[in-house]
Amino acid sequence: PSELLHEARLLKSPEEVELMRKAATIAAEAHSRAMELSRPGMFEYELQAEIEYVFKKRGAMGPSYGSIVGAGDNGCILHYVENNAKMKDGDLVLIDAGAEYEFYASDITRTFPVNGRFTPAQRDLYEIVLQANLEAIAQVKPGNSFQSVHDVAVRVLTEGLVRLGILQGEVSELIESGAFRRFYMHKTSHWIGIDVHDVGSYKVKGEWRALQPGMVLTVEPGLYIAEGTEGVDPKYWGIGIRVEDDVLVTASG
Ligand code: GLY
Ligand code: MN
Ligand code: MN
167-196 residue pLDDT tens? 999 999 999 999 999 999 999 999 999 999
Mean per-residue pLDDT, 95-113: 98
Mean per-residue pLDDT, 20-25: 98
pLDDT in tens, 43-54: 999 999 999 999
Across the chain, what does the average pLDDT equal?
Answer: 98
Is residue 6 within 8 Å of residue 201, measured between CB atoms?
A: yes
Residue nearest to atom 3 of ligand 1 (CA): 107
Whole-number Å distance, alpha carbon 243 to ligand 2 midpoint, is 9
Residue nearest to atom 5 of ligand 1 (CA): 197
Residues with CB under 6 A from ligand 1: 65, 96, 107, 190, 196, 220, 244
Mean per-residue pLDDT, 86-93: 98
Any bridge partners for residue 84, and if so which? Answer: none
pLDDT in tens, 143-156: 999 999 999 999 99
Residue nearest to atom 2 of ligand 1 (CA): 107
pLDDT in tens, 194-245: 999 999 999 999 999 999 999 999 999 999 999 999 999 999 999 999 999 9
Distance CA 236, CA 129 (A): 14
pLDDT of 69 reads: 98
Give the global pTM: 0.98
Best substitution site from 129, 190, 224, 246 to test ligand 1's pocket, by max atoms within 8 Å of Cβ?
Answer: 190
* Residue 32 CA, distance from chain mean position: 16
pLDDT in tens, 105-134: 999 999 999 999 999 999 999 999 999 999
Q: What is the 3-state secondary structure (H, E, C) of the chain?
A: CHHHHHHHHHCCCHHHHHHHHHHHHHHHHHHHHHHHHCCCCCEHHHHHHHHHHHHHHCCCCEECCCCEEEEHHHHHCCCCCCCCCECCCCCEEEEEECEEECCEECCEEEEEECCCCCCHHHHHHHHHHHHHHHHHHHCCCCCCEHHHHHHHHHHHHHHHHHHCCCCCCCHHHHHHCCHHHHCCCCCCCCECCCCCCCCCCCEECCEECECCCCCEEEECCEEEECCCCCCCCHHHCCEEEECEEEEECCCCC
pLDDT of 138 reads: 98
pLDDT of 73 reads: 98
Distance CA 68, CA 224 (A): 15
Query: Among all ligands shown, which has an atom nearest to the Cα of 81?
Result: 1
Whole-number Å distance, alpha carbon 107 to ligand 2 midpoint, is 5
Mean per-residue pLDDT, 66-95: 98
pLDDT of 99 reads: 98
- The residues near 187 (Cβ < 8 Å, ≥ 6 apart) are 150
